[in-house]
Amino acid sequence: MVQSNLNMLSGNKHPIFILSQCDIGAGKSGAAQGPQAVKDELESIGLVINEFEVLDNRSFNTVNLSHDYGKHIEGIVEAMQVLNDKVVQSINNQRFPIILSGDHSNAIGGLSGLKNANPDKTIGVIWIDAHADLHSPYTTPSGNMHGMPLAALTGMDNQEMQKNAVSEDLAYYWNELKQLGLNKIAPKFDIKDLVLIGVRDAEEEEWGIIRRMGVTTFEPQDIKTQGIEQVLQKTLSTLAHCDILYVSFDADSLDPTISTGTGTTAPDGLTIAQAELIFKHLMAEEKLGAFEITEVNPSLDTNGKAMAKVVGQLIATGLNC
């Protein structure tokens, strides 16, 4: 075990780990345990974390108005406001947020915080995930909010492909999510400044947005034929005009043979070697404003704490530790 004291990243970034323990946006519980499990793994391999904040926002799952197409949305609005505020505070204190979150709805709070701390900056988003997460209450087949963060952040209701009747209450909370933060900024970024890497399990409503808006997308076959380094080069070139980058890495972007502890696996995912290159390249990127890792669910892990171990090792690789 090599002791590594994490003080600074490239570009004079002073990291702070934010553990957002909220998983009420997922269809399966248990991802709230993921942030702490990953932190434990980082410490077990000798990474000394000097600054971290634990947001125990699981308690916000106290009210549910039975929104079939936006489950627990009230609690998510409250929890994501807390995460938003912590990210804003961290950035204002000259810290670089590394967000370990429960389910992927946490990206609403994380990316909103980055935007609210930088209201005049153009944000580019690199979304590494098996899923597109572009559903809204108007299109969702499940009602699970972890399938909707990109729609909330880009303000894409996609009513052109609406199939659900959305109540007045649900529409209110959905709009609260879209304009999360003191500045009420919406959208948080332009969907044309989004790059999807590893997407392979999306519904027609999501593909409709991707095609209509011309979203840059790298599917598994693209990664195989071009190589992950070429994909990353093209990604950064596509987002070169952006001032700041937000990276979100979902554990289910990895192949199911690796992602043994996450809620919604899909075949033909990333290899460890590909993921290592992603973390190395993107964590060293000068424009990186925040990096989120999400959807590690120890309660579903078929191999002990293997998923947390893999993610911990990836983070350590990205931090050159």
For residue 25, tell me if it sits in a domain: yes
Average pLDDT of the chain to the nearest whole number: 94
- What average pLDDT does the segment 77-88 reach? 97
**Across the beta sheet with 96-101, what order do the strands follow?**
52-55, 15-20, 96-101, 288-294, 244-250, 123-128, 194-197, 216-218
CA 45 – CA 312 distance, rounded (Å): 8
Alpha carbon distances (Å) from 271 to 209, 300, 303: 28, 20, 17
The residue range of the domain holding 181 is: 7-318
Res. 1: pLDDT tops 60: no
**What average pLDDT score do residues 29-46 get?**
95
Q: pLDDT at residue 62 above 70?
A: no
pLDDT at 54 over 50: yes
CATH code: domain of residue 256: 3.40.800.10
Q: Is residue 123 part of a domain?
A: yes
Does residue 92 form part of some domain? yes
Cis peptide before 187 (omega within 30 of 0): yes
d(CA 72, CA 55) in angstroms, rounded, equals: 18
Taking residues 40-52, report their average pLDDT: 90
2 has pLDDT over 50:
no
- 63 pLDDT more than 60: no
Residue 233 within a domain:
yes
Residue 56's pLDDT is: 87
Q: Where are the alpha helices (DSSP H) in 6-65?
A: 34-44
User: If DSSP codes are grouped into helix, strand and coil, which group holds residue 142?
Assistant: coil
Q: Is residue 2 situated within a structural domain?
A: no
Is 1 within the bounds of a domain? Answer: no
pTM: 0.96
Q: Summarize the confidence of residues 154-160 as an average pLDDT.
A: 97
Name the region of 226 (left: φ>0; alpha: ψ -120 to 50; beta: rest). Answer: alpha
Does position 158 have pLDDT exceeding 50, yes or no? yes
How many structural domains compose the chain? 1
Q: Does residue 124 belong to any structural domain of this protein? A: yes
